[in-house]
Each structure stands twice: as C-alpha cells, then as structure tokens.
C-alpha cells in the first residue's frame, strides 16, 4: 500500500532554563545565598539542595556551593521559601534593568 508520508508533530521541550526567553529581566527581587548558612556549603558535601530541587526554572546548580543563573532566574522566591536554614534571602532588584548599564 502506498502512503503519503506525514511527520508526526507534537509539542515537546527539554528541561532547563531559557524556554521562555531571557526571563532574568522579569525579576523584582533577587535571591542571594549566604554560604555560611547553606547546608552543603557549610558541610562541604552534597546535601539538602532543596533550592535545586524546587526551582521551577532549573536555574540553581547542584554544587557544593549552589549557584543561581541570574540570566534566567525570574525571582519567584521559591528557593528562599524552601531553604530549611534560611540561607537564601530575596533582596530588591534596585532598578534592575539599569544594572547592565553600569
């Protein structure tokens, strides 16, 4: 039987930042990690990483000192909310967009 070939098209994406563009500019508040309080940083071993687990945009790394990719972090504050040692604070983005002009 001769059939026309149509591609099966669906909508898919892979995990990771950047699916909605450079979302860092949306931030009103910026997360700042205090490594004195951060469990993996303090113990110097892989532990906790709830910030990495909960970040809806996948912009927190699972390193001993977790890093936040501010290019894409929207500033939702979930990491700060979930951090059991309150090591993450949300600070105001002082006129955020201007910072690039310095």
Partner 1 sequence: MSKTIEIRWHGRGGQGAITAAKIVANTAFQSGYDGIIMAPSFGTERRGAPISTSLKISGSEINDLMPIERPDIVVVLDHVLLEEDNVTAGLKPGGLLVLNTPKKIDDYHLPEFKLAVVDITAISSEAGLKKGVVNSGIIGALAKASRLFDMDLLLENIEKEFQGRKPGENALSAKLAFERTEIEEDK
The nearer residue to partner 1, 27 or 83, going by C-beta atoms, is 27
Work out whether 25 is an interface residue with partner 1 (CB under 8 A).
Answer: yes
Judged by CB under 8 A, the chain residues 63 through 92 that form the site for partner 1 are 74-75
57 to 19, 44, 45, 69, 99: CA distances (angstroms): 9, 25, 24, 10, 22
Question: By CB under 8 A, which span of 5-13, 26-34, 43-51, 52-60 interacts with partner 1?
Answer: 26-34
CB of 28 to partner 1, least distance (A): 6
Of 62, 77, 71, 67, nearest to 29 by C-alpha is 77
CB of 76 to partner 1, least distance (A): 9
CB of 11 to partner 1, least distance (A): 15
Of 89, 85, 101, 95, nearest to 30 by C-alpha is 89
């Amino acid at each position: 039987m001769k059939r026309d070939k149509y591609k099966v098209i669906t909508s898919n994406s892979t995990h990771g930042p950047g699916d909605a563009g450079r979302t860092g500019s949306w931030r009103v508040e910026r997360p700042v990690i205090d490594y004195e309080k951060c469990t993996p940083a303090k113990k110097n071993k892989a532990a906790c990483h709830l910030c990495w687990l909960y970040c809806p945009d996948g912009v927190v790394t699972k390193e001993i000192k977790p890093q936040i990719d501010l290019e894409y972090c929207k500033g939702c504050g979930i990491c700060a909310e979930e951090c059991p040692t309150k090591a993450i604070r949300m600070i105001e983005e002082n006129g955020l967009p201007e910072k690039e002009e310095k």
